[in-house]
Structure 1
Amino acid sequence: MRVHPVVLLLILCSLFLPTVATGASDPVMLDTESERYDLSLALSYLEDESGQLELEEVRELRQSGDFQGGQSEALNFGFTESAYWFHVQLEAGAPPDEAWVLESLYPIMDHLELYVVYPDGDIARYYSGDSVPFDQRSRDHQHINFEFTIEPGQTLDLYMRAETSGAVQMPMTLWTKDAFYNNDHVMGRVFGMYYGLILALAVYNLLIFLSIRDVNYLLYVAYIAAYGLFQASLNGFAFEFLWPDSPWWNNRSIAFTMGLGMVFIIGFSQSFLSLKTNAPRAHKLFSILMLAFMGIAATSLVLPYGPVIRVGTLLTAITAIAIFVVGMKCWLQDFKPARYFMISWTLLLMGMLVYTLKTFGLLPANFFTEFSIQIGSALEMIFLSMALADRIRLVTNENQRLQRVQNEELEKRVSERTLELEEANNKLKELNAIDGLTQLKNRDFFYETLDNEWRKNSRKDNHISLLLLDVDRFKEFNDDYGHLCGDACLKHLARVYEDSVSRAGDYVARYGGEEFAILLCHTTPEGAETVAERVRERVENTPLEWDGEQIPVTVSIGVSSHIPRPKEDMTLLIGEADQALYEAKAEGRNRVKVYSEPPSEPEK
């Protein structure tokens, strides 16, 4: 079951990319052994950027080899304005049934069309989606589905056209009709227990609120109710049972309930963690976020789904990080209710994090990523309900303790917060100096370090030497092996350079693109040339391991060396090294070139 996130990203990105592959897919053979076929890996696809292609044009493009396929994960293109066409061929040897149901496991696709092309040329067209009235579906089911027949010995071509204002994802399953109903029966029980748990916890905590009038319970009940509707909308159950005749509201209910649920999540976090006392700045930030999500809920009723859900998803990412960090901060400050809060919310936020990354196409679509929010939220609700009961006792004791030691703790807490800010600033400064791909120092750090060393050595007679290194034929490398391999090459070279230069006071940095810089302090021109040659040889003798293949890599190196003089510009060193690098490239690459002054013209 597909669900948009209620919270989110960005911490670990760059682990996965949207599924893209090339090549045609083999036909799917239907036999008497199987009642279910996962078609996700068998699909081939074509991007229709204009959204204007017709079936006959698409068939011709497939015959000419324009479709791509052969993916190892279910296709996931993330948010896109393009329409996509998909194709799979079915060959019926001796199938167990003539009636089949094609199911999309992504229930919030706006428009999904199926064209079944029979051997005699007849074409059956089916049209469904969450922006289409529910009664147009082949079967009453929360997932988009199409029922068609195939006779033994037939070969059918299935063409699907997908277009949506959200993310385009295509996990597709083919069932016999009986197997489809049996699976629906099992999944109905599973989700019945899930939504039953939500309802039971909501009623239980509402009764507690009516008894003790603690606002935390009311906020928690409101969150559970909004979250339950959000999940029901995302999973397709709300469209099936609550508003089957209102595609307009169904499309908007997702962003609306997401915004509403986030308002209550933030309000609950503010109250439960006592942020006015424990983290006043975070309390103000959370208030701003609440207003933002109120805006998301309101604008979802008047603006198109795509822009609203993109902004909402981004805000959930910010909110997820904020809740986690603030909760951890409160826990580390020995605010005891935060321990249960962090355990329960970590389970939910991890599920939301995984799903958000999957929605943006950064994680593959599979069982864990599809059900990560359900798994995390079920555990979160149980633990958080227990935490609410424990909080009453803990908060009472904590308030009494704080009153007794308030004056003593004030100065200590100010000092601790100042130290935390200093540490955060130091960490931020360190992170800002790191190149995200290679983990070397970046260009800004290089310039700052060169400037410091240049000014320091301008008062002494010490050489400063600079090596500028450039990967030979890197563009051809990218063209032949792809940009992922190119990134791996840069990281590989970064490690080789680091291993080659280990003296204290020497620095290795990524200068830009495929260029690197090595700053050698207190190093003569001869010494710099020796280091450069050693680096060049090590690169040449250390091929890149990629996809089971050893790929040779070479670099060209320009060397410049100077004794800094007062008021002399440090860019002179960079310009000379760059000129030497250019000459090394011109002379055939894979070589070291030391800059030398051009001969002066004789006076006339």
Structure 2
Amino acid sequence: MRYLLIVVLGWLPLLAAAVDFDDSTRSLPLGRVMHVFEDRDGNASIAQVSAPSFSEHFRPHQADVLNAGYSTSVFWIRLDLRYTAKPSATPRSWLLELAYPPLDHLELYLPDSAGGFYLAQRTGDALPYSSRQIEQNNYLFELPFVPGHTTTAYLRLHSQGSVQAPLTLWSTEAYLEAQPTRLYVLGLIYGVLLGMLVYNLFIYLSVRDTSYLYYILYIASFGLYQVSVNGAGVAYFWPDNPWWANASTPLFIGAAGLFGCQFARSFLRMAQHSRAFDGLLKLLMVSGGVVMLLSLVSSYGLALRLATALALLFTVSIFAAGLYAWWRGMRVARYFIIAWSAFLLGGLVNTLMVLGYLPNVFLTMYASQIGSALEVGLLSLALADRINTMRNQQAQALRETGRALEMLNQQLANSNRLKDEFLATVTHELRTPMNGVIGSLELMQTVSMDRELAQYQHTASAAAQDMMGMVDDILILTELQAGRLSAQNAPFALRGLLQELRAKYAAAALSKGLYLNLDAPADLPEMLIGDRHKLALCLGYLLDNGIKFTHQGGVMLQVRGRLQGPDVLGLSISVSDSGIGFDRLAEPGLYQRFFQVDGSMSRQYGGLGIGLAICRQLAELIGARLQHESNPGQGSRFELGLSLALSQPQALSRQGLNRG
């Protein structure tokens, strides 16, 4: 009898502490009806803690949620639950939910038939997702109850991170009915984060401001952190990787701190406003990188504690930097502060909850997500204001640049005019002494000279003629630039012009061992109306270039004609050579003034590099089209196409030309 009394007295505290519920109960928060024992050494076993004599070590819990913060202790929770349905009711199962996914180790012990307790379930995010009895991101256990009986259950909790245990007993129907609301809230939060990311991505692609790129990376890091801490990551993305399930949380916190600080530095232009705040944000960026590294190479507990401290410092520092920029008169800082206040307040509340200073309820658990959802609407004001400010600055810069360019264009026009006038004056002045030099050298030919002196005279005369040619080229170029030249049409003999050109350049070709052939059909009309002088100049430049850049073979001057009407002849005059040619890379600058295909050509081949530029302008002046084709090492072909009036249309019937 004495022993029976001892047993009854030992179990009496347990019976007195049991909480009643019945079929009308939909959900029962267990925070204030459970008993907690903190095992600082972690050595207690289920046999020890379930012994009647050990019940005095359990303390009634006075808060809605067990929140021990970062603790290395093992926590035992005892639940005494009595199902008070009618005795005739059948046994029924209820759902026990622990709504804190980041918990590392969780063990559930239920009574066995021998009066002891057995391990009914072992799970946690340090184990694969398949270890859960019911696959949910929160921990969910099925508890059997017999009407009128008290069921005692023990939970053993241990984690390197924050230890929290928001426990609720649910009826199956009530739990299923509550899930849509919870899923809608999470879906809204993740949808807002994704919307923020896509929205800012479009902003970045539109304005190419790196501030938005940093913000995109920050949002991505923060969103992945939420996926990790809310259990969605282990449920959908890495269910069989417990190591990454733990390491990802501090890693993404560190990444969010790193990119968030860089975004604030860029958006608020801290380097310009405050070297102190800029240095502080750089230090936090380095700290974020260190946390990311430690999350991969060190213990999860150390990395998570440092990440939490970083989150607090990040929250305060960003807010202070925004206030400072606002105080310095930065327009966008006020919108930045308003937008970030909501997010930072939510992050601060969530961090304080993790540290154990605030209770774990729905608002504190999802405070950072709710704050980020509010931020996207508020930050749009900052983004819009930033874009408007940038547009105004760009418009002002464009106006100032336009005025500067207009002044510069006027200066360039004046400089070009003065340059052309100077070149025209110089060339005119050079012609007089050069004519004297050339005349004197020609008179020397009438004087008897020995062979050596005659050679000197010949060399000097050739050099003077070349110099005179350059002077004439520059004079023509300046007159073309000044617009003082125009087409002067008059009757001329085409065949005579071609023969003169061949005779003029034959000696130069012969001196290099080249041929200079003329291919002109015999039935070409003799007399045409056009600007003979400018046509001869244009063809002369092409022949001179062909001879200059050809070492073997020769140059061909080819003419073809085709009637385009009763008194109009279409001419195609081409100059082909077997010289060095050029590739397409040289084509854009081919007709520029003072341009050589190869810089060394000015030394090897001589010349000013203005022949083709003059040739094209002369061709346009007389209504001709200048085209070319060339291959390196195979030569070049320049074709001049123009239409000229016939001087004697009545003689066409005797010509062998076809009408076009």
Asked if TM exceeds 0.5, the reply is yes
1:357 to 352, 359, 374: 352
Whether 1:108 and 2:99 are equivalent positions in the alignment is: no
Report 1 or 2 for greater relative contact order, CA contacts < 8 Å, sequence distance ≥ 6.
Answer: 1
Other-structure match for 2:17: 26
What is the CA–CA distance in structure 1 between the aligned matches of 2:314 and 2:90, rounded to whole Å? 50
Q: 1:300 to 1:24 in 2, by over 3 A?
A: farther
2:63 aligned with 1:72? yes
Alignment of 1:462-473 (within 5 A): none
Match of 2:37 among 9, 30, 46: 46
**What's the offset of the Cα at 1:77?**
1.2
Select the residue among 175, 179, 185 that pairs with 2:174: 179
Distance 1:25 1:267, change over 3 A: farther
2:182 counterpart SS class? helix
Q: Report the 3-state secondary structure (helix = DSSP H, G, I; strand = E; otherwise coil) of the residue aligned with 1:200.
A: helix
Q: Cα–Cα, structure 1 residues 396 and 126, in superposed 2: closer, same or farther, change >3 Å?
A: same
1:257 matched to 2:252? The reply is yes
Partner of 1:424: none
Show the counterpart of 1:237.
232
The 5-angstrom pairing of residues 58-457 of structure 1 reads 58-60=49-51, 63-94=54-85, 98-117=92-111, 121=115, 123-124=117-118, 125-394=120-389
The 1:61–1:225 alpha-carbon spacing in structure 2 relative to 1, beyond 3 Å, is farther
Partner amino acid, structure 2, of 1:55: I
Distance 1:246 1:398, change over 3 A: same
Secondary structure (helix, strand or coil) at the match of 1:159 reads: strand
- Cα pair 1:48 1:82 within 8 Å, conserved: yes
Paired residues of 1:23 and 1:70 also in contact (CA < 8 A): no
Q: How far 1:120 moved relative to its partner?
A: 5.9
Q: 1:302 Cα shift?
A: 1.3
Instruction: Return 5+ residue gaps in structure 1 as ranges.
Output: 1-21, 403-604
State the Cα deviation string for residues 503-546 of structure 1 (Å, max 9, x = none): xxxxxxxxxxxxxxxxxxxxxxxxxxxxxxxxxxxxxxxxxxxx
Question: Which AA in structure 1 matches 2:81?
Answer: L
State the Cα distance separating 1:392 from its structure 2 match.
2.1
Give the secondary structure class of the aligned counterpart of 2:366: helix
**TM-score (normalizing by structure 2):** 0.55
Once the two structures are TM-superposed, the CA of residue 135 in structure 1 deviates from its matched residue by 0.9
CA distance in 2 between counterparts of 1:96 and 1:183 reads 25
Distance 1:210 1:117, change over 3 A: same
Counterpart of 1:105 in structure 2: which amino acid?
A: A
SS at 2:259's partner residue? helix
**Structure 1 residue 96 displacement after superposition:** 9.9
Distance 2:234 2:318 in 1: 31
Letter in 2 for 1:226: S
2:541 is matched with: none
Paired residues of 1:97 and 1:176 also in contact (CA < 8 A): no
Does the aligned pair in 1 maintain the 2:106–2:124 contact within 8 Å? yes
In structure 2, what residue type is equivalent to 1:294?
A: G
Q: Residues 136-160 of structure 1: CA distance to partner in whole angstroms, max 9, x if unpaired? A: 1111211122123222223110100
**Secondary structure, in 3 states, of the residue corresponding to 1:301?**
helix
The size of the alignment, in residue pairs, is: 381
Over aligned residues, Cα RMSD in angstroms? 2.4
Cα offset for 1:186? Answer: 2.2
Q: Distance in 2 between matches of 1:308 and 1:240?
A: 23
Distance 1:40 1:314 in 2: 28
In structure 2, give the amino acid aligned to 1:86: I
Shift of residue 225, structure 1, vs aligned partner: 1.2
> Is 1:55 paired with 2:41?
no
What is the 5 A alignment of 1:541-552?
none
Greater displacement, 150-159 / 265-274? 150-159
Residues 396, 210 of structure 1: CA spacing in aligned structure 2 closer, same or farther, 3 A cutoff?
closer
Q: How far off its partner does 1:272 sit? A: 0.8
Assess, with a 3 A threshold, how the Cα gap between structure 1 residues 41 and 24 changes in structure 2: closer, same or farther: farther
Match of 1:438? none
8 Å Cα contact 1:118/1:157 also seen in 2: no
Secondary structure of the equivalent of 1:300?
A: helix
Kept after mapping to 1: 8 A contact 2:228/2:248: yes
CA distance in 2, matches of 1:340, 1:23: 57
The residue identity in structure 1 corresponding to 2:64 is E
Give the CA deviation at 1:204.
2.0
Identity of aligned residues (%): 36
User: Residue in 1 aligned with 2:488?
Assistant: none
CA contact (8 A) 1:29 1:90 kept: yes
Aligned to 2:26: 35
2:533 equivalent in structure 1: none
Moved more, 226-235 or 183-192: 183-192
Taking structure 1 as the reference length, the TM-score comes to: 0.60
Contact 2:227 2:233 in 1 (8 A): yes
Q: CA 1:129–1:244 in 2, change beyond 3 Å: closer, same or farther?
A: same
The one-letter amino acid of 1:157's match is T
Q: Distance in 1 between matches of 2:288 and 2:253?
A: 8
- Which residue in 1 is equivalent to 2:638? none
Question: Is 1:24–1:70's contact at 8 Å kept on the other side of the alignment?
Answer: no
More helix by share: 2
CA change 1:62–1:202 in 2 (3 A) is farther
- Alpha-carbon distance between aligned partners in 2 of 1:97 and 1:202, rounded to the nearest angstrom: 50
Q: Look up the SS of the partner of 1:40 in the other structure.
A: coil
Aligned-partner residue type, residue 364 of structure 2? T
Contact 1:119 1:156 survives alignment (8 Å): no
CA distance in 1, matches of 2:154, 2:385: 56
* Larger CA Rg, structure 1 vs 2: 2
Kindly state the Cα deviation for residue 40 of structure 1 after the two structures are TM-superposed. Answer: 1.4
Q: Secondary structure at the match of 1:199?
A: helix
Asked if 1 retains the 8 angstrom alpha-carbon contact of 2:49 and 2:55, the reply is no
Shift of 1:23: 11
**Would the aligned equivalents of 1:116 and 1:158 in 2 still touch at CA under 8 Å?**
yes
Could you give the per-residue CA deviations for residues 60-104 of structure 1, whole angstroms, max 9, x where no partner exists? 266441100140332211111111101011101128981222111
Report deviation, 1:353: 1.4
Contact 2:47 2:116 in 1 (8 A): no
Larger deviation: 198-207 or 130-139?
198-207
Residue identity in the other structure for 2:160: S
Once the two structures are superposed, residues 338-358 of structure 1 have per-residue CA deviations (whole angstroms, 9 ceiling, x without a partner) of 111101111111111122222
Q: Deviations over 1:333-374 (max 9, x none)?
A: 221101111011111111111222222222222232222112
Structure 1 pair 97/258, CA: closer, same or farther in 2 (3 Å)? farther
Q: How far apart are the structure 2 equivalents of 1:271 and 1:96?
A: 66
Q: Distance in 2 between matches of 1:62 and 1:186?
A: 44
* Structure 2 unaligned blocks of 5 or more: 1-12, 398-660
